[in-house]
Amino acid sequence: MVILDANNIVKIYGEYGGEASTTALGGVSLSIQKGEFIAIMGPSGSGKTTLLNILSGIDKPTSGEVTVAGQKISEMTGEQLALFRRRQLGFVFQEFNLLDSLTVKENIILPMVLEKKKAAEMESKVQHLGKLFEIENILDKYPYNISGGQQQRAAVSRALVNDPSIIFADEPTGNLDSKSSAVIMECFEKIVHELSTTVLLVTHDIFAASYCNKVVFIKDGLIHSYIVKKGTRKEFLNQIIDNLAVLGGRTHVF
């Protein structure tokens, strides 16, 4: 089942044809199936963030169409999109983006509160996610009193509470040490395998990308190639390194 379909996405920043215009994406097509776990990699400036922003409705393409869960998000109004994003999409950011004035539990259930879900449903969901990600003992703490790894696990829980069609993660391990990075990638692995969640992440981190099932490489605003995991994570990691070397450019990974 196709969860996301992007057709010939072009993004030009600045006035088209103007001297200062930049073609960030030159015609990207991508199809993502339910339960896929995909990383987008590429050199600095290749268009990764632009692509993620367009696929998740944060930004509009100059031309091309994006369909998520059967709905054309590229044609939605701002209000429709805001509602759609809250109900159908989950987001995880490099900086965790938890609200400091709320406890971990309040942060996690916030998207459910906005959807006016029942208290019992929220409680059962937060307990389930707390257990799944081993943060059940810190649910009453505030974000500034827990580690970065725990904050990111809370952020993944928050992204999951409304059972999104897809989770978008922008450099989710960018602010974590290697041990916490491994834990967070294992969390993503768990939700893909146990809940059939679809996860798309943008990363410079080859170690993080090696947890995914597929890596799509972009260069100069176009899809250059992709690889699918067949053997072990270690073998996939070596394959990612080889592909990045072919890609060239400045990739912060070495």
Ligand X SMILES: Nc1ncnc2c1ncn2[C@@H]1O[C@H](COP(=O)(O)OP(=O)(O)OP(=O)(O)O)[C@@H](O)[C@H]1O
Contacting positions for ligand X (CB under 6 A): 13-14, 22, 24, 42, 44-50
Q: Is 107 exposed, middle or buried (0-12, 13-18, 19+ CB in 10 A)?
A: buried
Q: How far is the CB of 110 from ligand X (least distance, A)?
A: 27
Pick 24 or 132: Cβ nearer ligand X: 24
Min separation Cβ 145 and ligand X, Å = 31
> Nearer to ligand X by C-beta: 27 or 45?
45
Cα gap 206→64, rounded to integer Å: 30
Q: How far is the CB of 114 from ligand X (least distance, A)?
A: 28
Whose Cβ is closer to ligand X: residue 48's or residue 214's?
Answer: 48
**Residue 253, number of CB atoms within 10 A of its CB:** 15
Distance CA 40, CA 37 (A): 10
Smallest separation, CB 204 to ligand X (Å)? 6
Give least dist CB 49 to ligand X, A: 3
Q: Least distance (Å) from ligand X to the CB of residue 6?
A: 15
* Cα atoms in the Cβ-side hemisphere of radius 13 Å centred on 81: 17
Buried b (16+ CB within 10 A) or exposed e, 157-182: bbbbbbebbbbbbbbbbbbbeeebbb
As measured in angstroms, the least distance from the Cβ of 170 to ligand X is 9
What do you get for the CA distance between the two ends of the chain, in Å? Answer: 36
Q: Which two tokens stand for residue 184?
A: 């967070």
In this structure, the number of other CB atoms found within 10 A of the CB of residue 85 comes to 19
- Cα-Cα-Cα-Cα dihedral sign, residues 200, 204, 207, 208: negative
Q: Which is nearer to ligand X, 53 or 74 (CB)?
A: 53
Nearer to ligand X, 49 or 62 (CB): 49
Specify the residue, 23 or 71, whose C-beta has the smaller distance to ligand X: 23
29 or 44: CB nearest ligand X = 44
Residues in the chain, overall count: 254
Burial-class residue 144 by CB neighbours within 10 Å (0-12, 13-18, 19+): exposed
